[in-house]
Amino acid sequence: MASYLLRREHILLDLGYSVIRDKEGSAKVQTKQKKVLPYVEFGISTSMGCKLPLYNWLAPILLSLVNFVALSSAQAQAQLTTQSSAQLSGQIQGPIPAAIQSVQVLHWWKSASEHKAIDVLAGRLAQENIVWHDAIIPGGSGIGAGIVLKSRILAGNAPEIAQLNGVMISQWANLGLLLEFDTVASSGKWDKLFFPTVWELIQPRGHLVAAPLGIHRINTLFYNKKIFSKYNLAPPETWDEFESAAELLQKKGIVPLAQSSEPWQIATLFETLLLSESDATFYRAAFVTKESRAFNDLRFFRALQRLRFLKKFMQLPVQEQSWIEVTHLLASGDAGMLVMGDWAKGELNAWGVPTDVGFACVAVPNTANYHLYDVDTLVMLAKDNASRASQEKVAQLAVSPLLQAEYNQIKGSISVLRNPDLSKMDSCSRSSWKMFSRGSAVQVPSLAHRMATDEISKDAIIAEIVRFFMDDTISVADTQHRLAAISHSLPKRKAGNDAQNTYR
Protein backbone atom coordinates (compact mmCIF):
# COMPACT_ATOMS: atom_id res chain seq x y z
CA MET A 1 0.00 0.00 0.00
CA ALA A 2 1.30 3.48 -0.76
CA SER A 3 1.92 5.86 2.07
CA TYR A 4 -0.53 8.41 3.23
CA LEU A 5 -1.44 10.37 6.29
CA LEU A 6 -4.90 11.06 7.48
CA ARG A 7 -5.50 14.52 8.75
CA ARG A 8 -7.33 15.00 11.99
CA GLU A 9 -6.97 18.66 12.57
CA HIS A 10 -10.53 19.67 11.83
CA ILE A 11 -11.68 17.55 14.72
CA LEU A 12 -9.10 19.23 16.89
CA LEU A 13 -10.04 22.67 15.71
CA ASP A 14 -13.67 21.97 16.51
CA LEU A 15 -12.62 21.15 20.03
CA GLY A 16 -10.86 24.44 20.55
CA TYR A 17 -7.33 23.47 19.66
CA SER A 18 -5.25 25.10 17.02
CA VAL A 19 -2.63 23.54 14.83
CA ILE A 20 0.85 25.00 14.83
CA ARG A 21 3.80 23.79 12.91
CA ASP A 22 7.50 24.38 13.36
CA LYS A 23 9.68 25.62 10.54
CA GLU A 24 10.42 22.08 9.35
CA GLY A 25 6.73 21.58 8.84
CA SER A 26 6.16 19.33 11.84
CA ALA A 27 2.73 19.99 13.17
CA LYS A 28 1.74 20.36 16.75
CA VAL A 29 -1.57 20.98 18.43
CA GLN A 30 -1.87 23.91 20.73
CA THR A 31 -4.60 24.06 23.36
CA LYS A 32 -6.28 27.25 24.44
CA GLN A 33 -4.07 27.11 27.55
CA LYS A 34 -1.07 27.21 25.19
CA LYS A 35 -0.04 23.69 26.06
CA VAL A 36 1.74 22.10 23.16
CA LEU A 37 0.80 18.55 22.35
CA PRO A 38 2.14 16.39 19.55
CA TYR A 39 0.05 16.52 16.46
CA VAL A 40 -2.43 13.73 16.12
CA GLU A 41 -2.12 12.35 12.66
CA PHE A 42 -1.54 8.72 12.01
CA GLY A 43 0.27 7.08 9.16
CA ILE A 44 -0.37 4.05 7.04
CA SER A 45 2.62 1.84 6.38
CA THR A 46 4.21 1.88 2.99
CA SER A 47 5.71 -0.57 0.62
CA MET A 48 7.08 2.30 -1.47
CA GLY A 49 9.90 3.01 0.91
CA CYS A 50 8.55 6.47 1.71
CA LYS A 51 9.12 7.91 5.14
CA LEU A 52 6.11 8.55 7.28
CA PRO A 53 6.58 11.79 9.15
CA LEU A 54 4.98 12.75 12.47
CA TYR A 55 4.61 9.21 13.65
CA ASN A 56 5.51 9.02 17.28
CA TRP A 57 4.66 6.99 20.28
CA LEU A 58 2.34 9.61 21.67
CA ALA A 59 0.12 9.60 18.61
CA PRO A 60 -1.99 6.52 19.44
CA ILE A 61 -2.60 7.77 22.98
CA LEU A 62 -3.60 11.19 21.80
CA LEU A 63 -5.64 9.75 19.01
CA SER A 64 -7.72 7.71 21.43
CA LEU A 65 -8.06 10.73 23.69
CA VAL A 66 -9.23 12.98 20.91
CA ASN A 67 -11.62 10.38 19.54
CA PHE A 68 -13.07 9.91 23.00
CA VAL A 69 -13.58 13.63 23.50
CA ALA A 70 -14.91 14.06 19.99
CA LEU A 71 -17.44 11.30 20.35
CA SER A 72 -18.57 12.18 23.83
CA SER A 73 -18.95 15.85 22.99
CA ALA A 74 -21.55 14.67 20.46
CA GLN A 75 -20.15 16.84 17.77
CA ALA A 76 -21.67 15.08 14.84
CA GLN A 77 -19.29 16.56 12.36
CA ALA A 78 -16.22 15.54 14.30
CA GLN A 79 -17.58 12.06 14.77
CA LEU A 80 -18.27 11.61 11.09
CA THR A 81 -14.84 12.94 10.22
CA THR A 82 -13.32 10.31 12.44
CA GLN A 83 -15.38 7.61 10.80
CA SER A 84 -14.48 8.60 7.30
CA SER A 85 -10.79 8.86 8.13
CA ALA A 86 -10.74 5.46 9.66
CA GLN A 87 -12.78 4.04 6.85
CA LEU A 88 -10.22 5.20 4.35
CA SER A 89 -7.60 3.31 6.27
CA GLY A 90 -9.80 0.26 6.28
CA GLN A 91 -9.98 0.20 10.06
CA ILE A 92 -13.68 0.89 10.57
CA GLN A 93 -16.41 -0.68 8.49
CA GLY A 94 -19.82 0.85 8.03
CA PRO A 95 -21.62 3.41 5.94
CA ILE A 96 -20.61 7.07 5.83
CA PRO A 97 -23.70 9.24 6.15
CA ALA A 98 -24.51 10.74 2.78
CA ALA A 99 -24.11 14.34 3.85
CA ILE A 100 -20.41 13.96 4.60
CA GLN A 101 -18.05 13.36 1.73
CA SER A 102 -14.34 12.90 1.87
CA VAL A 103 -11.58 13.37 -0.63
CA GLN A 104 -8.06 12.15 -0.37
CA VAL A 105 -5.53 14.59 -1.81
CA LEU A 106 -2.06 13.43 -2.78
CA HIS A 107 0.48 16.24 -2.69
CA TRP A 108 4.00 17.15 -1.58
CA TRP A 109 3.30 20.20 0.53
CA LYS A 110 4.81 19.59 3.89
CA SER A 111 6.42 22.84 5.01
CA ALA A 112 4.84 25.30 7.44
CA SER A 113 3.60 27.70 4.75
CA GLU A 114 2.50 24.93 2.40
CA HIS A 115 0.42 23.35 5.13
CA LYS A 116 -1.04 26.65 6.18
CA ALA A 117 -1.99 27.46 2.60
CA ILE A 118 -3.82 24.20 1.97
CA ASP A 119 -5.45 24.45 5.37
CA VAL A 120 -7.33 27.42 3.95
CA LEU A 121 -8.82 25.22 1.25
CA ALA A 122 -9.39 22.28 3.61
CA GLY A 123 -11.18 24.64 6.00
CA ARG A 124 -13.49 25.95 3.30
CA LEU A 125 -14.28 22.40 2.24
CA ALA A 126 -15.09 21.42 5.81
CA GLN A 127 -17.80 24.09 5.77
CA GLU A 128 -19.27 22.27 2.79
CA ASN A 129 -19.16 18.93 4.63
CA ILE A 130 -16.24 17.70 2.59
CA VAL A 131 -13.39 16.24 4.60
CA TRP A 132 -9.92 16.73 3.14
CA HIS A 133 -7.51 13.88 3.85
CA ASP A 134 -3.87 14.52 3.21
CA ALA A 135 -1.79 11.96 1.38
CA ILE A 136 1.52 13.72 1.80
CA ILE A 137 4.52 12.44 -0.10
CA PRO A 138 7.26 14.77 1.07
CA GLY A 139 9.98 15.87 -1.31
CA GLY A 140 10.63 19.30 -2.80
CA SER A 141 9.22 19.80 -6.30
CA GLY A 142 7.20 16.61 -5.98
CA ILE A 143 9.67 13.97 -7.17
CA GLY A 144 8.34 11.28 -4.79
CA ALA A 145 4.72 12.35 -5.16
CA GLY A 146 4.77 11.69 -8.91
CA ILE A 147 6.14 8.19 -8.40
CA VAL A 148 3.66 7.27 -5.67
CA LEU A 149 0.76 8.64 -7.67
CA LYS A 150 1.70 6.48 -10.67
CA SER A 151 2.02 3.38 -8.50
CA ARG A 152 -1.28 3.99 -6.82
CA ILE A 153 -3.05 4.39 -10.11
CA LEU A 154 -1.50 1.20 -11.44
CA ALA A 155 -2.60 -0.56 -8.26
CA GLY A 156 -6.17 0.70 -8.74
CA ASN A 157 -5.89 2.77 -5.58
CA ALA A 158 -5.94 6.32 -6.92
CA PRO A 159 -6.72 9.23 -4.59
CA GLU A 160 -9.61 11.47 -5.59
CA ILE A 161 -7.35 14.47 -6.11
CA ALA A 162 -3.65 14.97 -6.78
CA GLN A 163 -1.25 17.83 -7.17
CA LEU A 164 -0.03 17.43 -10.72
CA ASN A 165 1.76 20.27 -12.39
CA GLY A 166 2.54 21.41 -15.91
CA VAL A 167 3.10 19.15 -18.87
CA MET A 168 2.07 16.10 -16.88
CA ILE A 169 -1.50 17.38 -16.91
CA SER A 170 -1.77 16.93 -20.67
CA GLN A 171 0.03 13.60 -20.59
CA TRP A 172 -2.30 12.19 -17.98
CA ALA A 173 -5.34 13.66 -19.69
CA ASN A 174 -4.28 11.94 -22.92
CA LEU A 175 -4.33 8.63 -21.08
CA GLY A 176 -7.90 9.29 -19.94
CA LEU A 177 -6.91 9.27 -16.27
CA LEU A 178 -8.27 12.68 -15.37
CA LEU A 179 -11.84 13.67 -14.68
CA GLU A 180 -13.20 16.22 -17.13
CA PHE A 181 -15.36 18.79 -15.40
CA ASP A 182 -16.30 21.26 -18.10
CA THR A 183 -19.63 22.19 -16.54
CA VAL A 184 -17.79 23.76 -13.59
CA ALA A 185 -15.85 25.89 -16.02
CA SER A 186 -18.86 26.94 -18.05
CA SER A 187 -21.04 27.75 -15.04
CA GLY A 188 -18.19 29.68 -13.39
CA LYS A 189 -17.14 31.40 -16.65
CA TRP A 190 -13.62 30.16 -16.10
CA ASP A 191 -12.55 31.17 -19.59
CA LYS A 192 -12.88 34.81 -18.52
CA LEU A 193 -11.30 34.39 -15.08
CA PHE A 194 -7.78 33.20 -15.70
CA PHE A 195 -4.64 34.29 -17.46
CA PRO A 196 -4.69 32.62 -20.92
CA THR A 197 -1.56 30.61 -20.08
CA VAL A 198 -3.29 29.12 -17.06
CA TRP A 199 -6.50 28.50 -18.96
CA GLU A 200 -4.68 26.59 -21.71
CA LEU A 201 -2.71 24.62 -19.17
CA ILE A 202 -5.77 23.26 -17.40
CA GLN A 203 -7.73 22.20 -20.47
CA PRO A 204 -5.09 20.55 -22.65
CA ARG A 205 -7.49 18.74 -24.98
CA GLY A 206 -10.21 21.34 -24.87
CA HIS A 207 -11.65 19.81 -21.70
CA LEU A 208 -11.13 21.10 -18.21
CA VAL A 209 -9.10 18.65 -16.12
CA ALA A 210 -7.36 20.72 -13.43
CA ALA A 211 -8.04 23.46 -10.90
CA PRO A 212 -5.29 26.08 -10.69
CA LEU A 213 -4.17 27.35 -7.28
CA GLY A 214 -1.33 29.79 -7.78
CA ILE A 215 1.59 30.93 -9.91
CA HIS A 216 5.13 30.91 -8.55
CA ARG A 217 8.00 32.99 -9.89
CA ILE A 218 11.25 31.04 -10.08
CA ASN A 219 13.70 33.76 -11.11
CA THR A 220 13.64 35.33 -7.68
CA LEU A 221 16.74 36.46 -5.81
CA PHE A 222 16.12 36.75 -2.09
CA TYR A 223 18.50 38.73 0.05
CA ASN A 224 18.77 39.14 3.80
CA LYS A 225 17.70 42.71 4.32
CA LYS A 226 19.42 43.21 7.67
CA ILE A 227 22.76 42.01 6.35
CA PHE A 228 22.45 44.12 3.21
CA SER A 229 21.62 47.21 5.29
CA LYS A 230 24.42 46.50 7.77
CA TYR A 231 27.02 46.40 4.99
CA ASN A 232 25.37 49.09 2.96
CA LEU A 233 24.79 46.81 0.00
CA ALA A 234 22.25 47.44 -2.75
CA PRO A 235 20.26 44.49 -4.13
CA PRO A 236 22.20 43.37 -7.21
CA GLU A 237 20.69 44.10 -10.60
CA THR A 238 23.68 42.92 -12.65
CA TRP A 239 26.11 40.05 -12.25
CA ASP A 240 28.90 42.54 -11.56
CA GLU A 241 26.91 43.97 -8.68
CA PHE A 242 26.13 40.47 -7.51
CA GLU A 243 29.82 39.61 -7.54
CA SER A 244 30.93 42.63 -5.56
CA ALA A 245 28.19 42.08 -2.97
CA ALA A 246 29.11 38.39 -2.77
CA GLU A 247 32.81 39.17 -2.29
CA LEU A 248 32.09 41.56 0.53
CA LEU A 249 29.79 39.07 2.26
CA GLN A 250 32.45 36.40 1.94
CA LYS A 251 35.01 38.69 3.61
CA LYS A 252 32.57 39.14 6.49
CA GLY A 253 32.28 35.38 6.94
CA ILE A 254 28.78 35.13 5.47
CA VAL A 255 27.98 32.54 2.79
CA PRO A 256 27.02 34.77 -0.15
CA LEU A 257 24.66 32.32 -1.87
CA ALA A 258 22.70 29.53 -0.15
CA GLN A 259 22.44 26.49 -2.39
CA SER A 260 21.61 22.81 -2.07
CA SER A 261 22.84 19.97 -4.27
CA GLU A 262 19.37 18.45 -4.63
CA PRO A 263 18.98 18.00 -8.39
CA TRP A 264 15.79 20.03 -8.67
CA GLN A 265 17.39 22.89 -6.74
CA ILE A 266 20.46 22.90 -9.00
CA ALA A 267 18.08 22.88 -11.97
CA THR A 268 16.07 25.74 -10.46
CA LEU A 269 19.24 27.84 -10.31
CA PHE A 270 20.47 26.75 -13.74
CA GLU A 271 17.27 27.48 -15.64
CA THR A 272 17.32 30.97 -14.16
CA LEU A 273 20.92 31.40 -15.31
CA LEU A 274 20.06 30.21 -18.80
CA LEU A 275 17.31 32.79 -19.01
CA SER A 276 19.70 35.40 -17.66
CA GLU A 277 22.23 34.62 -20.40
CA SER A 278 19.66 34.49 -23.19
CA ASP A 279 15.99 35.29 -23.72
CA ALA A 280 12.60 33.57 -23.74
CA THR A 281 12.93 32.34 -27.33
CA PHE A 282 16.30 30.76 -26.74
CA TYR A 283 15.21 29.24 -23.43
CA ARG A 284 12.28 27.58 -25.20
CA ALA A 285 14.55 26.28 -27.97
CA ALA A 286 16.61 24.53 -25.28
CA PHE A 287 14.04 23.33 -22.80
CA VAL A 288 10.71 23.19 -24.65
CA THR A 289 11.54 22.10 -28.20
CA LYS A 290 14.96 20.71 -27.18
CA GLU A 291 16.83 21.71 -30.30
CA SER A 292 20.37 20.36 -30.32
CA ARG A 293 21.73 23.63 -31.72
CA ALA A 294 20.55 25.39 -28.56
CA PHE A 295 22.65 23.15 -26.34
CA ASN A 296 25.73 23.88 -28.48
CA ASP A 297 25.10 27.61 -28.44
CA LEU A 298 27.36 30.19 -26.82
CA ARG A 299 24.49 31.29 -24.58
CA PHE A 300 24.20 27.79 -23.16
CA PHE A 301 27.97 27.79 -22.70
CA ARG A 302 27.81 31.02 -20.70
CA ALA A 303 25.02 29.76 -18.48
CA LEU A 304 27.02 26.65 -17.59
CA GLN A 305 30.07 28.78 -16.99
CA ARG A 306 28.13 31.02 -14.66
CA LEU A 307 26.74 28.05 -12.77
CA ARG A 308 30.27 26.85 -12.10
CA PHE A 309 31.49 30.35 -11.29
CA LEU A 310 28.77 30.84 -8.69
CA LYS A 311 30.02 27.83 -6.77
CA LYS A 312 32.78 29.95 -5.31
CA PHE A 313 30.10 31.89 -3.44
CA MET A 314 28.43 28.77 -1.99
CA GLN A 315 29.28 26.75 1.06
CA LEU A 316 31.51 23.94 -0.24
CA PRO A 317 31.06 21.08 -0.63
CA VAL A 318 27.47 21.92 -1.50
CA GLN A 319 25.26 19.83 0.78
CA GLU A 320 22.06 18.03 -0.12
CA GLN A 321 19.65 20.13 1.90
CA SER A 322 15.92 20.61 1.57
CA TRP A 323 14.71 23.95 0.26
CA ILE A 324 13.43 24.63 3.75
CA GLU A 325 16.93 24.26 5.15
CA VAL A 326 18.52 26.58 2.59
CA THR A 327 15.77 29.11 3.16
CA HIS A 328 16.58 28.90 6.83
CA LEU A 329 20.21 29.81 6.09
CA LEU A 330 18.95 33.03 4.56
CA ALA A 331 16.61 33.76 7.46
CA SER A 332 19.29 33.19 10.08
CA GLY A 333 21.79 35.38 8.27
CA ASP A 334 24.24 32.52 7.70
CA ALA A 335 23.72 33.20 4.02
CA GLY A 336 23.17 36.55 2.35
CA MET A 337 21.30 35.52 -0.82
CA LEU A 338 19.22 32.72 -2.25
CA VAL A 339 17.83 31.97 -5.73
CA MET A 340 14.57 30.12 -5.23
CA GLY A 341 10.95 30.07 -6.33
CA ASP A 342 8.86 32.44 -4.27
CA TRP A 343 7.44 29.63 -2.13
CA ALA A 344 10.51 30.53 -0.04
CA LYS A 345 8.82 33.86 0.64
CA GLY A 346 5.72 32.12 1.94
CA GLU A 347 7.90 30.04 4.20
CA LEU A 348 9.87 33.00 5.54
CA ASN A 349 6.60 34.77 6.30
CA ALA A 350 5.26 31.66 8.04
CA TRP A 351 8.33 31.72 10.30
CA GLY A 352 7.54 35.31 11.25
CA VAL A 353 10.10 36.90 8.91
CA PRO A 354 8.21 39.66 7.11
CA THR A 355 8.81 40.67 3.51
CA ASP A 356 10.86 43.88 3.18
CA VAL A 357 11.96 43.63 6.82
CA GLY A 358 13.89 40.40 7.31
CA PHE A 359 14.37 39.82 3.62
CA ALA A 360 13.41 41.25 0.27
CA CYS A 361 13.36 39.99 -3.28
CA VAL A 362 14.41 41.16 -6.70
CA ALA A 363 14.60 39.39 -10.04
CA VAL A 364 17.81 37.42 -10.65
CA PRO A 365 20.23 39.69 -12.62
CA ASN A 366 19.23 40.13 -16.27
CA THR A 367 15.86 38.42 -15.82
CA ALA A 368 13.78 41.34 -14.58
CA ASN A 369 11.79 41.40 -17.80
CA TYR A 370 10.74 37.78 -17.53
CA HIS A 371 8.55 35.65 -15.36
CA LEU A 372 9.95 32.13 -15.11
CA TYR A 373 6.80 30.47 -13.90
CA ASP A 374 5.44 27.38 -12.22
CA VAL A 375 1.69 26.91 -11.80
CA ASP A 376 0.37 24.75 -8.96
CA THR A 377 -2.67 22.73 -9.96
CA LEU A 378 -4.92 20.03 -8.57
CA VAL A 379 -6.25 17.34 -10.88
CA MET A 380 -9.27 15.18 -10.18
CA LEU A 381 -8.71 11.50 -10.86
CA ALA A 382 -11.39 9.81 -12.95
CA LYS A 383 -12.67 7.14 -10.58
CA ASP A 384 -16.36 6.70 -10.17
CA ASN A 385 -19.18 9.15 -10.17
CA ALA A 386 -19.54 8.91 -6.39
CA SER A 387 -16.71 11.41 -5.88
CA ARG A 388 -17.55 13.74 -8.72
CA ALA A 389 -19.61 16.23 -6.70
CA SER A 390 -16.88 16.64 -4.07
CA GLN A 391 -14.16 16.85 -6.69
CA GLU A 392 -16.05 19.56 -8.53
CA LYS A 393 -16.65 21.44 -5.30
CA VAL A 394 -12.91 21.44 -4.58
CA ALA A 395 -12.30 22.91 -8.03
CA GLN A 396 -14.95 25.59 -7.56
CA LEU A 397 -13.67 26.63 -4.15
CA ALA A 398 -10.02 26.62 -5.25
CA VAL A 399 -10.59 29.45 -7.69
CA SER A 400 -12.92 31.63 -5.65
CA PRO A 401 -11.48 35.14 -5.24
CA LEU A 402 -11.40 35.03 -1.44
CA LEU A 403 -9.63 31.71 -1.32
CA GLN A 404 -7.21 32.75 -4.04
CA ALA A 405 -6.25 35.87 -2.10
CA GLU A 406 -5.78 34.09 1.20
CA TYR A 407 -4.11 30.96 -0.15
CA ASN A 408 -1.61 32.79 -2.35
CA GLN A 409 -0.71 35.29 0.32
CA ILE A 410 0.36 32.40 2.53
CA LYS A 411 1.92 30.25 -0.20
CA GLY A 412 4.08 33.04 -1.66
CA SER A 413 2.57 32.66 -5.12
CA ILE A 414 0.23 34.96 -7.01
CA SER A 415 -3.40 34.44 -7.90
CA VAL A 416 -4.32 32.69 -11.12
CA LEU A 417 -7.14 35.20 -11.52
CA ARG A 418 -6.78 38.08 -13.93
CA ASN A 419 -8.17 40.61 -11.48
CA PRO A 420 -6.92 39.76 -8.02
CA ASP A 421 -6.97 42.05 -5.04
CA LEU A 422 -3.56 43.73 -5.38
CA SER A 423 -3.89 45.39 -1.97
CA LYS A 424 -3.43 41.98 -0.33
CA MET A 425 -0.07 41.44 -2.05
CA ASP A 426 3.37 42.34 -0.73
CA SER A 427 6.06 43.93 -2.88
CA CYS A 428 7.42 40.58 -4.17
CA SER A 429 4.00 39.34 -5.22
CA ARG A 430 3.05 42.65 -6.77
CA SER A 431 6.09 42.66 -9.00
CA SER A 432 5.53 38.99 -9.85
CA TRP A 433 1.91 39.73 -10.74
CA LYS A 434 2.77 42.81 -12.79
CA MET A 435 5.31 40.86 -14.80
CA PHE A 436 3.13 37.79 -15.35
CA SER A 437 0.16 39.89 -16.41
CA ARG A 438 2.20 41.36 -19.27
CA GLY A 439 1.40 38.21 -21.17
CA SER A 440 2.94 35.24 -22.89
CA ALA A 441 5.94 37.09 -24.33
CA VAL A 442 7.46 37.46 -20.86
CA GLN A 443 6.22 34.16 -19.43
CA VAL A 444 8.84 31.43 -19.46
CA PRO A 445 7.95 27.87 -18.38
CA SER A 446 10.13 26.30 -15.69
CA LEU A 447 12.00 23.14 -16.64
CA ALA A 448 12.64 22.03 -13.07
CA HIS A 449 8.98 22.42 -12.13
CA ARG A 450 7.58 20.52 -15.12
CA MET A 451 6.18 23.43 -17.08
CA ALA A 452 8.54 23.16 -20.06
CA THR A 453 8.74 19.55 -21.10
CA ASP A 454 7.89 15.93 -20.34
CA GLU A 455 9.32 14.07 -17.36
CA ILE A 456 11.81 11.96 -19.34
CA SER A 457 13.35 14.98 -21.07
CA LYS A 458 13.40 17.00 -17.87
CA ASP A 459 15.19 14.26 -15.95
CA ALA A 460 17.69 13.61 -18.75
CA ILE A 461 18.61 17.29 -19.04
CA ILE A 462 18.79 17.83 -15.29
CA ALA A 463 21.01 14.76 -14.82
CA GLU A 464 23.65 16.31 -17.09
CA ILE A 465 23.44 19.71 -15.43
CA VAL A 466 23.82 18.08 -12.01
CA ARG A 467 26.84 16.01 -13.12
CA PHE A 468 28.45 19.17 -14.39
CA PHE A 469 27.68 21.09 -11.21
CA MET A 470 28.96 18.39 -8.88
CA ASP A 471 32.12 17.46 -10.76
CA ASP A 472 34.45 20.31 -11.63
CA THR A 473 36.53 18.09 -13.91
CA ILE A 474 33.70 17.90 -16.45
CA SER A 475 34.14 20.64 -19.01
CA VAL A 476 31.46 23.01 -20.21
CA ALA A 477 31.98 21.83 -23.79
CA ASP A 478 31.57 18.17 -22.84
CA THR A 479 28.31 18.89 -21.08
CA GLN A 480 27.06 20.81 -24.09
CA HIS A 481 27.96 17.97 -26.45
CA ARG A 482 26.31 15.39 -24.27
CA LEU A 483 23.12 17.42 -24.00
CA ALA A 484 23.05 18.08 -27.73
CA ALA A 485 23.48 14.35 -28.37
CA ILE A 486 20.80 13.41 -25.85
CA SER A 487 18.39 15.96 -27.29
CA HIS A 488 18.16 13.94 -30.55
CA SER A 489 16.56 11.05 -28.75
CA LEU A 490 14.26 12.97 -26.41
CA PRO A 491 10.52 12.83 -27.11
CA LYS A 492 9.38 15.72 -29.27
CA ARG A 493 5.84 16.96 -29.40
CA LYS A 494 4.07 18.88 -32.07
CA ALA A 495 4.31 22.59 -31.36
CA GLY A 496 1.10 24.12 -30.14
CA ASN A 497 -0.55 21.14 -28.50
CA ASP A 498 -0.54 22.69 -25.07
CA ALA A 499 0.24 25.89 -23.25
CA GLN A 500 3.89 25.12 -22.63
CA ASN A 501 4.70 24.19 -26.16
CA THR A 502 3.25 27.18 -27.87
CA TYR A 503 5.24 30.13 -29.12
CA ARG A 504 2.78 32.84 -28.29
Coil, strand or helix at 150: helix
Name, in order, each residue with C-beta under 8 angstroms of 141's C-beta and a sequence gap of 6 or more.
108, 264, 268, 448, 449
190 contributes a contact to ligand GAL by CB under 6 A = no
CA distances from 444 to 300, 425, 449 (A): 16, 22, 12
Listed ranges 121-129, 139-147, 361-369, 489-497: which one lies at the site for ligand GAL (CB under 6 A):
139-147
- Region of 108-116, 271-279, 297-305, 377-385 interacting with ligand GAL (CB under 6 A): 108-116
Q: Which stretch binds ligand GAL (CB under 6 A): 121-129, 136-144, 153-161, 358-366?
A: 136-144
Closest approach, Cβ 362 to ligand GAL, in A, equals 20
- Cβ-contact 346, 112 below 8 angstroms: no
Among 172, 195, 223, 343, contact with ligand GAL (rule: CB under 6 A): 343
Q: Cα(413)–Cα(429) distance, rounded to whole angstroms?
A: 7
Q: Per rule CB under 6 A, is residue 374 in the interface with ligand GAL?
A: yes
By the rule CB under 6 A, 263 interacts with ligand GAL: no
Residue 346 touching ligand GAL (CB under 6 A): no
Helix axes 401-411, 343-350, angle to 10 degrees: 80
**How far from chain centre, in Å, is Cα 378?**
11
Query: In the complex with ligand GAL, which residue's Cβ is closer, 84 or 163?
Result: 163
Residue with Cβ nearer ligand GAL (306 or 450): 450
**Cα–Cα distance measured from residue 279 to residue 271, given in angstroms and rounded to the nearest whole number:** 11
CB 378 within 8 A of CB 394: yes
Q: Which residue is nearest to ligand GAL (CB)?
A: 140
Beta-bridge partners for 131: 102
Whole-angstrom distance, CA of residue 466 vs CA of residue 475: 13
CA-CA-CA-CA torsion sign (166, 480, 372, 312): positive
Cβ nearer to ligand GAL, comparing 88 with 145: 145
Q: Which of 501, 489, 482 has its CA nearest to residue 456?
A: 489
* Least distance (Å) between residue 490 CB and ligand GAL: 21
Nearer to ligand GAL, 218 or 246 (CB): 218
Choice from 25, 43, 53, 142 touching ligand GAL (CB under 6 A): 142
Choose between 41 and 376: whose C-beta lies nearer to ligand GAL: 376
Q: Which of these segments, 50-58, 138-146, 219-227, 385-393, binds ligand GAL (CB under 6 A)? A: 138-146
Report the residue from 10, 449, 458, 493 that binds ligand GAL according to the rule CB under 6 A.
Answer: 449
Nearer to ligand GAL, 138 or 204 (CB): 138
323 interacts with ligand GAL by CB under 6 A: yes
Q: Using the minimum distance from each CB to ligand GAL, give the nearer residue, 141 or 396.
A: 141
Nearest distance, CB of residue 233 and ligand GAL, angstroms: 28
Q: How far apart are CA 165 and CA 376, in angstroms?
A: 6
Decide if residue 216 touches ligand GAL (CB under 6 A).
Answer: yes
Nearer to ligand GAL, 129 or 261 (CB): 261
Give dist(CA 496, CA 504) in Å, integer.
Answer: 9
Q: Is 373 in the site for ligand GAL (CB under 6 A)?
A: no
Contacts 24+ apart (CB under 8 A), 85-92: 85/6, 85/7, 85/8, 85/131, 85/133, 86/6, 88/6, 88/133, 89/6, 89/42, 89/44
Cβ(412)–Cβ(216) below 8 Å? yes
Site string for ligand GAL, 159-188 (x = CB under 6 A): ------x-----------------------
Measured distance CA(360)–CA(348) in Å, rounded: 10
* Residue 67 or 322 with smaller CB distance to ligand GAL: 322
**Residues 354, 355, 357, 359, CA torsion sign:** positive
Q: Quick one: which of 25, 43, 53, 140 contacts ligand GAL (CB under 6 A)? A: 140
**E-strand stretches of 110-202:** 130-136, 161-163
Separation between Cα atoms, residue 157 and residue 358, nearest integer Å: 44
Of 4, 17, 42, 109, the residue at the interface with ligand GAL (CB under 6 A) is 109
Q: Which is nearer to ligand GAL, 142 or 420 (CB)?
A: 142
Q: Shortest distance, CB of residue 140 to ligand GAL, whole angstroms? A: 4
Chain positions contacting ligand GAL, by CB under 6 A? 108-109, 114, 140-142, 165, 216, 323, 341, 343, 374, 376, 449
